[in-house]
Amino acid sequence: MMKNIVVAVTGASGSIYADLLLKRLKSLNEQYNKLAVVFSENAREVWEIELGNKDFELLDLNIYEKNDFNAPFASGSGNFDTMLIVPCSMGTLGRIASGISNDLITRAADVVLKERRKLICMVRETPYNLIHIKNMETVTLAGGIICPATPSFYSKPQTPEEIAGTVVDRMLDLAGLDISTYRWGK
C-alpha cells in the first residue's frame, strides 16, 4: 500500500531541514500516493530569514493553510499514515503532548497518534529544559518518534546542506522510505 504523507513546517529554526526534506520527498514521489504540506504561522517568515528566499511559494505541492480543518489529514478517515514535523518547535510539541488541537498541525498530529500511525517530530531546540524533555516523553509514550535535528558526521559532510541532509535522511528512514544514503559499515 502506498503511503499518504503530511509534512508540517513550524517556525522553529531549521528551515534548511524542511527545504531539503520537501525536495527529497518530491524526488521519491513513486514511494507515496499523496503528499500534503502545512506551514505554521511563523514558518514562512523563519524560512525567509534563514534561507534568504521565498521558495516555499514555488513548491508544486498540495499546501494547506494552518486553519483548514477540511484538509483530508484532519480526520482519521483521510487515511494519512505518516506525519513529519520539520522543524518541530517546542510550542508545537507541547501542544501535541497536551492534546491541544488549535490548528491543522496539532489536529493532524492528534489524528495520527489516535489512529496509531507514524508521527515523527524533528525537534529543534538547544538546550532542552525539563518541560521539553517531559513533552518528548509524553509524545513518545503516545507512539510518536522524536528525531532531534542532530546531524551525524560519519559520511564526512562538507556543506551545510550535506550536514542537514544527514538528519533528513534519518527522518526519511524512520518514515519507511527507501532512500540512497550513507550506511554505517559500507
Q: Is residue 26 part of a domain?
A: yes
The parent domain of residue 101 ranges over: 3-174
Q: 41 lies in a domain?
A: yes
Q: Which residues pair with 120 in a beta bridge?
A: 84, 145
Q: Tens of pLDDT along 90-121? A: 999 999 999 999 999 999 999 999 999 999 99
Is 101 a domain residue? yes
Residue 116, domain member (yes or no): yes
Mean pLDDT value of segment 114-129: 97
Distance, in Å, from the CA atom of 6 to the CA atom of 185, rounded to the nearest integer, reads 32
Would you call 58 exposed, middle or buried from its count of C-beta atoms within 10 A (0-12, 13-18, 19+)? exposed
What is the per-residue burial (b if ≥16 Cβ within 10 Å, else e) of 142-167? bebebbbbebeeebebeeeeeebbbb
Q: What is the CATH number of the domain that holds 97?
A: 3.40.50.1950
CB atoms under 10 Å from CB of 123, counted, come to 26
Of 90, 95, 20, the C-alpha closest to 55 is 20
Instruction: Give the residue carrying C-alpha cell 483521510.
Output: 78
Report the mean per-residue pLDDT for the chain: 96
- Say if residues 173 and 84 touch (Cβ distance below 8 Å): no
In this prediction, residue 186 carries a pLDDT of 76
CA distance 180 to 123: 24
Q: Each residue of 60-74: pLDDT tens digit? A: 999 999 999 999 999
Count the domains in the chain.
Answer: 1
Q: Residue 181: inside a domain, yes or no?
A: no
CB 124 within 8 A of CB 149: yes
Please check whether residue 184 lies inside any domain of the structure.
Answer: no
Is the pLDDT at 4 greater than 80? The verdict is yes
Task: For residue 127, tell me if it sits in a domain.
Answer: yes
Place of cell 497518534: 113
Confidence (pLDDT) at 1: 62
2 pLDDT band, cuts 50/70/90, is confident
User: What gap in Å lies between CA 132 and CA 77, rounded to an integer?
Assistant: 31
Residue 186, domain member (yes or no): no
